[in-house]
Chains A and B, each alone.
Chain A
Amino acid sequence: KQEVTQIPAALSVPEGENLVLNCSFTDSAIYNLQWFRQDPGKGLTSLLLIQSSQREQTSGRLNASLDKSSGRSTLYIAASQPGDSATYLCAIDNYGQNFVFGPGTRLSVLP
């Protein structure tokens, strides 16, 4: 059974810092991986989707990498802003039937 973990559980940084969020998974036979953002009391917003054949994806200040062999993905946020404060979740797609989420990293960016 696929298990997904995320480190750190919480992170507080001053505005402007570059930061890295980590996601680990136990079964490397994944279809793809997706990073989401969740604001308090709100739904999830997809940030980046990495297909299993890809190594990384970029969108603006966000860059996500995928290393299937080691069971790891990282989300890099450049020049963090207070508006980036949210919980970040990674999710593994096990071939379309089940989408397994990590527990999330709660990020606070201080002005």
Chain B
Amino acid sequence: EAQVTQNPRYLITVTGKKLTVTCSQNMNHEYMSWYRQDPGLGLRQIYYSMNVEVTDKGDVPEGYKVSRKEKRNFPLILESPSPNQTSLYFCASGTRGLGDTEAFFGQGTRLTVV
């Protein structure tokens, strides 16, 4: 089954404690991306990757890091989380982009930073 898998689904952490949200896709997609979704602000892109070892900033990259060492994985790293990073996070993948063919999204990770 074609899918994008995020872990964990729910996470509560404290300010400043480094964390990683994993994302894995099984469709051999070149393109992967991270979004955060906040009430009233909608979905905003954090980072994207066009291929292995190729990453670029989206609209709201501050406070986040990513890496793309393998095609299937695209982890999101929060080196020093702060309460304003409390949000619902989505990972997505597609062929050459998210709009080239049907885009696939993970189930989301709800992060709370206290």
Contact = CB atoms under 8 A, between A and B. Distances in A.
Interface string B89-109: 010100011111111111110
B112 interface: no
Please report whether the interface of chain A is mostly helix, strand, loop or mixed according to DSSP: strand
A96 B108 contact: no
Contacts of B99: 31-34, 49, 91-93, 96, 99
Size class of B's contact patch?
20 to 34
Interface of B: 4, 31, 33, 35, 42-43, 45, 48, 50, 56, 58-59, 90, 92, 96-108, 110
6 contacts: A33-B99, A36-B105, A44-B90, A44-B92, A89-B43, A98-B45
Interface of A: 31-34, 36, 41-46, 49, 89, 91-93, 95-99, 101-104
